[in-house]
Chain A
Amino acid sequence: ETGVTQSPTHLIKTRGQQVTLRCSSQSGHNTVSWYQQALGQGPQFIFQYYREEENGRGNFPPRFSGLQFPNYSSELNVNALELDDSALYLCASSPDRGRRDGYTFGSGTRLTVV
């Protein structure tokens, strides 16, 4: 399978609810990172998973959590949604932690919290 696929493409949730976003990475890409991109901003690193274990976290609270599965799929879970969580959530995968060859990004999930 080629490319990175994210689902759903758009989502509207109410403040306080929980959400799960899904990502299917390229075969062989053992690294997956999640980024949050607010309107008018560059992507901000949430966390990274390497071989199914969390490998680093950005400045995001614990209510942001994730999972990576052996089949190169992953999830981003956000509990107790806040209005400021409204953003484009991007999944990115790499075979080498992106250090030289960069990341392949999905098209993102646009989350709106009302």
Chain B
Amino acid sequence: TQLLEQSPQFLSIQEGENLTVYCNSSSVFSSLQWYRQEPGEGPVLLVTVVTGGEVKKLKRLTFQFGDARKDSSLHITAAQPGDTGLYLCAGPDRGSTLGRLYFGRGTQLTVWP
């Protein structure tokens, strides 16, 4: 099993603050995906990082894939209440053509106005 550990599990901040959440594994992944899930909805893909050391920006969100492709981080600048949600990282099954994803438990982010 390829485990993904996410931290922190819960994060509660005020609007305007910056934050970083982490996704770590002892396994190497060919890529990692970040999803955001809101209550009563399914996860929505934010980004896929593929290359070790890669940095991708999506407006106020910055995603980084570790050089060894075992970890990733998500940094949000000037958080807004609309950023509230469960942030999940997921990686594909290693050594298989199967598109199975391993998910972490997620970071529940709450941004207060």
Q: Which residues of A contact B (CB under 8 A)?
A: 4, 31, 33, 35, 40-45, 48, 55-56, 58, 90, 92, 94, 96-108
Would B99 and A31 count as touching, CB distance under 8 A? yes
In B56-80, the 8 Å CB interface with A consists of none
Would A56 and B101 count as touching, CB distance under 8 A? no
Given contacts A90-B42, A102-B33, contact A33 B99 (CB under 8 A): yes
Residues in A whose Cβ lies below 8 Å from that of B41: 107-108
Would B101 and A98 count as touching, CB distance under 8 A? yes
CA distance A100 to B47 in the complex (A): 10
Residues in A whose Cβ lies below 8 Å from that of B50: 100
Would B98 and A108 count as touching, CB distance under 8 A? no
Would B45 and A97 count as touching, CB distance under 8 A? no
CA distance A108 to B90 in the complex (A): 18
Given contacts A42-B88, A102-B48, A105-B44, contact A94 B31 (CB under 8 A): no
Residues in A whose Cβ lies below 8 Å from that of B30: 99
In B26-59, the 8 Å CB interface with A consists of 30-31, 33, 35, 40-45, 48, 50
